[in-house]
Each structure stands twice: as structure tokens, then as C-alpha cells.
Amino acid sequence: MKQNAEATEKSESPKIGSGLSSSQVSSNHRLNGDYTQGFYNFYVSESDKHAKPEGFAAASTTSKGKKPVIDKTSELYAQSKELENYMVKMMLSSARKTIQKSELFGKNDYARDMYEDMMYDNYAESLTKNSHFGLADQIYIELSGQRG
């Protein structure tokens, strides 16, 4: 009887170190609550595995004088795009501060601020995906060791 009570007590008590696993915290390399699509699986064609740099990175060369090759399907490139997206968000945030806000709905309108945050996040993602700034390409070239 004593042994049965101990077994019940052990099964009901939480296990030590049984916190959240990384698979519960993030899904597809994104944090929970992040509503944007992200850059994973954005480039999927075979030609994206051997792409040439775009934007400012187009003028870069490797230490041997060759043009670098970018694998846009890699996880490193997706992370580079995320960093470029963050930089574009910072740029838009600075520009957003220059806009005078209407006080039609009061000074502290939480819903408006939340909507504007989501709108500017989508602006940043669209700019990152379509404008070819080249920052992600520069980051990829540097971190992949092609610069030398």
C-alpha cells in the first residue's frame, strides 16, 4: 500500500527540468505570436541555390577575385534576410516617428498603435522581399566565409 502511494505521488509531481522544449516555443524557426510569414522556404527553385548577389552586394568579390555564389534556399540566407528585415524595420520606425499623429481618438489609442505596428512590420517584410537592398547578401557572403 505504501509503495502504491509513493508511485502515485511521483507520477503527480512535476518532473525536475520539465520546462518548455524549443519545439514548443518556436514553430518553423519563428517565435509564437509572430504573425508574419518569414523568409524560410521563400526561395525554393533550383536556380536559387546558385544565385548572384543583388543590390550593394553585387559589386563584392571573394578574396580570389571571383563573384560570390549565394544559396538562397539555405537557413543562413533566411537568417540573413531576417536581419535585413530587422534593419528595414528600424529604418521605418525612425521614419514613422516623424509623422504627426492625430488626436481624434485620444492620445493613447492602444488599438491604433497595435494596428500601425503590424502595418509597418508588413511594410518592412514587403520591402525586404521585393527591394533587393543587398544587405542580406552581404551578410550571407561574410558569414559563409566567401569574402576570405
Lowest mean pLDDT among 19-28, 39-48, 61-70: 19-28
Q: What is the mean pLDDT of residues 124-136?
A: 89
Residues constituting the chain = 148
pLDDT for 63-117, tens place per residue?
667 788 888 888 898 899 999 999 999 999 999 999 887 777 667 778 888 888 9
Q: Is 45 exposed, middle or buried (0-12, 13-18, 19+ CB in 10 A)?
A: exposed
Output the pLDDT for position 92.
94
Task: Pick 38 or 111 by higher pLDDT.
Answer: 111
Nine-digit cell string for 40: 524560410
- 28 CB-near residues (< 8 Å, 6+ apart): 38, 40
Lowest mean pLDDT among 38-42, 56-60, 96-100: 38-42
Measured CA to CA, the distance from residue 118 to residue 71 in angstroms comes to 30
CB 90 within 8 A of CB 43: no
**Nearest CA-CA partner of 125 in 99, 78, 88:** 88
CB 136 within 8 A of CB 84: yes
Parse the chain into domains and list their residue ranges. 36-143
Query: DSSP readout, 32-76?
Result: TT--S--STTS--SGGGGGBPP-GGGGG---TTSPPP-B-TTSHH
Q: Is the pLDDT of residue 25 over 50?
A: no
CB 140 within 8 A of CB 84: no
Find which of 33-47, 104-118, 121-135 is predicted with most confidence, using mean pLDDT: 121-135
Output the pLDDT for position 84.
92
